[in-house]
Each structure stands twice: as structure tokens, then as C-alpha cells.
Amino acid sequence: MDLHPVPADMAQLVREGLARSPKQLPAWLLYDDAGSELFERICEQPEYSLTRTETELLTRLGPELAAALGPGALVEFGAGNGRKVSPLLAAGRQSACVALDISADHLRRACEGLRERHPGLPILGICCDYSTLDALPDHPLLRQPRIGFFPGGSLGNFAPTEAIRLLRRFGALLGGNSRLLIGIDQPKAVDRLEAAYNDAAGWSAAFALNLLKRLNRELEGTFDPEGFRYEARWEQEASRIAMALVSERSQSVRVAGERFHFDAGEPLITEYSVKYSPEHFHALARAAGWHPLNRWSDPSGDLSLHLLWRLERANSLEQANSLEQANSLERAN
């Protein structure tokens, strides 16, 4: 199913994002086909350990995690190349796989790979933005009981209040009594974090700069990619990496039918990556109506796989308390 936002909607988002202060665009715009391929290269870099660590955990614990998730159609949010879900599907507990992602061609290839690795298992790819999950067309695989999988620390791309909204949306799609396995990257040494998001080989920079090429191609932009440099900085108070393209000079750019001015040194935020301790993440999950059931971590405590259970009728007192904790994190942001 291809439900990718149409150019007019993208243009509107870009105009809104460039009118903000600081300028910031939705992170999903990074993922056109070239962006998805560049992200694959980032995952192979020695500085970016997240993919290796999470894959190792999933491979080692696949049968245990698949059993803990229980039966149903496994819905993966932001499936990327579709490889991380395979150790779960290989355990044979789930009846189908629904892979959701914004990057259409990359998703098509991911689904081909899934069909090859899991012959006979029904596979459905849905290209869409998470914000449209409540308007998915009817499909037999979405009528089965559903469980969710959201790896890669991708929740960190959303500010805490947006993350709560997103987890609620996932809950609405998955239905009452469902379970969600989610990979959360944790705070660690600043030099490691900054290096992970600004690898020496330059793939992180190429990934961010590809956004400008996309805007030029799809929204008649006039960005000069050489007029921007890439930066990734840890922001302690907000517990996040901020990734930005910084204007090298005072310049003005036309895109999506409007002109925008950049001062010399002005950042355009391409994405954030919030890192959550297990306690902070639990508060966020509870505020979204999810109850933490279990957690698995790598020996160094770099990241956790959290198993959440969606309460049929969320306990309002528990939600209120955890919302207060989530709000205090949001205030820090």
C-alpha cells in the first residue's frame, strides 16, 4: 500500500518548518530512497554501534522475545531494511508481518527480503507517515490480533510529548491488550554519542545533506549543499543529540514556493535523537497508556528492548503520575 504524503502536503510541512525558530524539518524527510541507502551505510560505521548491539540482542533472544510478544500479526513501525524483525519471525510464533515505513522503494525491497527469508508468511508493506496510522485502509492482515515492534531507538526522533502521542497512536492501531517491543537507546558518554552521529567517513553528513538535494528535486528548492555544514551535538539538559545543517554564510533560498533567509551560522535542525534511561522511558510509556512488562539490555547497558503491554482501560492515576514525569522531561527539552 502506498500512502506516502503527496508533494502539496510535503511543501506545507517544509514551509512551516522553515518558518520556525530554530528552523526544523520533520525527520522523515531524510528518508527518500537515497537517504535510506545512506542510513544503511551509517549503520555499518564503527562509531554507530546501535544497529550491531540491537541486532545481536534480537538474534540471541529471538525465540524468547517472540514468545513474550505472543501470537498475532507483527506490525513493525519504521521497518527500514526489514532485517531486525527476522529473528522474531523465525521463531514461528507470529502469523503475519506488516512492515510500515515512509520510504517506498526501500520498503518494497525490504518486503522482498522478508518474503525470501520467511516463505509462506503473509507480508504486507505499507508506505505511510506514522501520523496517518488512524486512517489506514482496511486489510485482512490488519483484522487479525496485532502486536508491535519499533526498533532502532527511533522513538528518540520525537520530542517527549510527540513520542507520547505516537505511542498512543501505535496503541490505537494495535488494539486493546496488545504488546509492543521497542528498542530504546540510552544516555552514554558524550564523545561516543557525538561520534556515532558524525562518523569519520562522513556518511552522517551525507545523509543530512541529501535532505537539501531532495528539497531541490521535489520542491523546486535552490539550496546550495556546499553552503551548509553538518553538526551533531549532545544537549545534556534535553538528553538528546541535535543534528543540524549550519549555514556557512548569510544566504536566501527558495523552496516550496517561498523564500527563506539563513544567517551565517544559523542551524536547520534535521533531527533530534532523545536518549532515555529505563526510568524515563517507563514514565513516557505509562503516560501513553502502555505498561512496562519486561526489559532486556546489552551487557554495557547501551540500549534496552522494552516489552510493553497496552492496558485495556488505562489506570488514570498511574497515567496522571507518569504524565507529570514525562512533562518534567519535556520542560527540560
Q: List contacts with ligand SAM (CB under 6 A).
A: 27-28, 31, 36, 39, 51, 78-80, 84, 101-103, 129-130, 151-152, 154
What ranges in the chain are assigned the alpha helix state H? 7-19, 33-43, 50-69, 86-89, 104-117, 140-143, 160-174, 190-196, 203-218, 278-287, 316-332
Report the phi/psi class of residue 82: left, alpha or beta, with left for phi > 0 and alpha for psi in -120 to 50: left
Which residue, 101 or 247, has its beta carbon nearer to ligand SAM? 101
* Strands 179-185, 146-150: pairing kind: parallel
> What are the residues whose beta carbons fall under 8 Å from the beta carbon of 116, sequence distance 6 or more?
none
Spell 102-115 as b/e; 16+ CB within 10 A means b. bbbebbeebbeebb
d(CA 164, CA 32): 26
- Based on CB atoms, which residue is closest to ligand SAM, 154 or 304? 154
Least Å distance between CB 99 and ligand SAM? 9
In whole angstroms, the minimum distance from the beta carbon of 177 to ligand SAM comes to: 25
The least distance separating ligand SAM from the CB of residue 29, rounded to whole angstroms, comes to: 9
| Residue 324 CB, nearest approach to ligand SAM (Å) | 27
- In angstroms, what is the minimal distance from the CB of 106 to ligand SAM? 7
Nearest CA-CA partner of 163 in 143, 144, 180: 180
C-beta closer to ligand SAM: residue 65 or 253: 65
In the numeric block, which cell numbers belong to residue 156? 528518540
Residue spans of beta strands (DSSP E) within 171-298:
179-185, 228-235, 240-247, 251-255, 258-262, 267-274, 290-297
Residue closer to ligand SAM by CB (options 52, 261) is 52
Residue placing its CB nearer to ligand SAM in the complex, 28 or 260: 28
CB of 138 to ligand SAM, least distance (A): 20
Using the minimum distance from each CB to ligand SAM, give the nearer residue, 129 or 224.
129
Pairing verdict, β 73-77 and 96-101: parallel
Instruction: Give 253 or 268: the residue with its C-beta nearer to ligand SAM.
Output: 268
Residues ≥6 apart with Cβ < 8 Å to 146: 72, 73, 74, 75, 98, 173, 174, 175, 178
Residue number, 165 or 295, with CB nearest to ligand SAM: 165
- Shortest Å distance, C-beta 112 to ligand SAM: 15
Residue 171: CB minimum distance to ligand SAM, A: 16
Residue of this chain nearest to ligand SAM (CB atom): 152
Question: Among residues 80 and 286, whose Cβ is nearest to ligand SAM?
Answer: 80
Whole-angstrom CA distances from 294 to 278, 282, 307, 308 are 11, 11, 5, 7
DSSP output for 139-166? -HHHHS-EEEEE-TTGGGGS-HHHHHHH
CB of 169 to ligand SAM, least distance (A): 10
